[in-house]
Structure 1
Amino acid sequence: MAESAPAGSGAAPRPSAPADDGMLRIRGGLGGLTFQFEEVLAGAAALDGLVRQLAAVEAEADAVRTDLFPFQADSYTSGSNAIIAAGEGSRALGRVREELGKLCSEVRASHREYEFTETRNSLLLRIGRFGPGYGPLWGLFGMPAMTTRDVVEDEAALASGRLALLLGLPAGLVRGTATPGGPPGVREVVRGVAAATGRAGLLPRPVRITGAETRQEQVDVSPAGLLSRAGAVGGTNGQIEVLRLDAGGRPAWVVVIPGTQLDGLPAGTNPFDAGGIAEGLGYGSAETTAAIRQALRAAGAEAGQPLAAVGYSQGGIHAMNLSQDRDFLAEFDLKFVLTAGSPVGGITPEPGISSLHLEHEQDWVPGADGLASPDTKERVTVTLTNALEVPPLADFGLGPGHQLGNYAAGADAVAASRDLSLRTSAAALAAVVGSGGAATITRFSLRREALPAQPGNPRADAPGPKPDSKPERKRERKRDGSLGGNTAGTPPRKAPV
Structure 2
Amino acid sequence: MAEVAPVGAGGTPQPRTPEPDGSLRIRGGVGGIRFQFEELLAGAAALDGLVLQLQAIEVEAEAVRVALFPHQASSYASGSSAIIAVGESGREIGRVREQLQRIGNGVRASHREYGFAESHAAIRLRMGMGAPILGTGLNALDLGLRDATEGAVRDLSRILEQMMGLPPAAANLAGAIVGPTDVGAVLRAIATAPALSFLRPRPISVSQTETATKSVDLSAAGMLRELDHVSATSEGEIEVVQIDKGEDKAWVVLIPGTQPGNPPGGSNPLDEAGIAEALGYNSAETSKAIRQALLEAGAAAGETVVAVGHSQGGIHAMNLSQDKAFLAEFDLKFVVTAGSPVGGITPQAGIGSLHLEHQQDWVPGADGKANPDTKDRVTVTMTNPVSLAPGEDQGIGPAHKLSRYEEGAKLVQLSSDPSLAASTATLGGILGVGGVAKVSRFKLSRETTQAPRGGR
TM-score (norm 2): 0.80
- How far does the alpha carbon of each residue in 1:443-490 deviate from its partner, in whole angstroms, 9 at most, with x for none? 111112222232476xxxxxxxxx8xxxxxxxxxxxxxxxxxxxxxxx
CA displacement at 1:83 relative to structure 2: 11
* SS in structure 2 at match of 1:224: helix
Matches within 5 A, 1:149-164: 149-159=146-156
Tell which deviates more after alignment, 218-227 or 121-130: 121-130
Matched residue, 2:295: 297
* SS in structure 2 at match of 1:198: helix
CA displacement at 1:55 relative to structure 2: 4.3
* SS in structure 1 at match of 2:322: coil
- The answer to whether residue 197 in structure 2 is matched with residue 195 in structure 1 is no
Matched residue, 2:41: 41
Matched residue, 2:204: 207
Go from structure 1 to structure 2 and tell me whether the alpha carbon gap of 1:152 and 1:184 turns closer, same or farther (over 3 Å shift): closer
Matches within 5 A, 1:456-475: none
Matched residue, 2:352: 354
CA displacement at 1:124 relative to structure 2: 7.5
CA displacement at 1:165 relative to structure 2: 13
Matches within 5 A, 1:303-342: 303-342=301-340
Matched residue, 1:261: 259
Give the letter for the 1:202 counterpart. L
CA displacement at 1:397 relative to structure 2: 1.2
Matches within 5 A, 1:91-490: 96-116=96-116, 127-131=129-133, 148-159=145-156, 182-234=179-231, 235-247=233-245, 250-263=248-261, 267-390=265-388, 395-455=393-453
Tell which deviates more after alignment, 244-253 or 440-449: 244-253
- How far does the alpha carbon of each residue in 1:224-251 deviate from its partner, in whole angstroms, 9 at most, with x for none? 1111222222231221111101246531
TM-score (norm 1): 0.74
Distance in 2 separating the partners of 1:14 and 1:133: 40
Counterpart contact for 2:338–2:405, Cα < 8 Å:
yes
Counterpart contact for 2:15–2:37, Cα < 8 Å:
no
Give aligned pairs, total: 429
Go from structure 1 to structure 2 and tell me whether the alpha carbon gap of 1:133 and 1:43 turns closer, same or farther (over 3 Å shift): farther
- How far does the alpha carbon of each residue in 1:392-445 deviate from its partner, in whole angstroms, 9 at most, with x for none? 687211111111111111111212222111111101111111110101111111
- How far does the alpha carbon of each residue in 1:192-221 deviate from its partner, in whole angstroms, 9 at most, with x for none? 212233322111122221334221111111
* SS in structure 1 at match of 2:194: coil
* SS in structure 2 at match of 1:395: coil
- How far does the alpha carbon of each residue in 1:111-156 deviate from its partner, in whole angstroms, 9 at most, with x for none? 334554566677778734323599xxxxxxxxxx997111111111
Unaligned runs of 5+ in 1: 135-144, 167-176, 458-466, 468-497
Distance in 1 separating the partners of 2:97 and 2:324: 45
Counterpart contact for 2:412–2:420, Cα < 8 Å:
yes
Distance in 1 separating the partners of 2:429 and 2:373: 22
Counterpart contact for 1:242–1:256, Cα < 8 Å:
yes
Q: Percent identity?
A: 54
CA displacement at 1:90 relative to structure 2: 7.0
- The answer to whether residue 49 in structure 2 is matched with residue 32 in structure 1 is no
* SS in structure 2 at match of 1:243: strand
CA RMSD of aligned residues (A): 4.1
Unaligned runs of 5+ in 2: 137-141, 164-173
Counterpart contact for 2:208–2:440, Cα < 8 Å:
no
* SS in structure 2 at match of 1:269: coil
* SS in structure 1 at match of 2:411: helix
Counterpart contact for 1:293–1:328, Cα < 8 Å:
yes
Distance in 2 separating the partners of 1:321 and 1:225: 22
Give the letter for the 1:131 counterpart. I
* SS in structure 2 at match of 1:129: coil
Distance in 1 separating the partners of 2:162 and 2:133: 22
* SS in structure 2 at match of 1:369: coil
Go from structure 1 to structure 2 and tell me whether the alpha carbon gap of 1:186 and 1:266 turns closer, same or farther (over 3 Å shift): closer
Give the letter for the 1:450 counterpart. T
CA displacement at 1:20 relative to structure 2: 2.5
Matched residue, 1:491: none
* SS in structure 2 at match of 1:272: coil
Matched residue, 1:172: none
Counterpart contact for 1:247–1:436, Cα < 8 Å:
no
Matched residue, 1:142: none
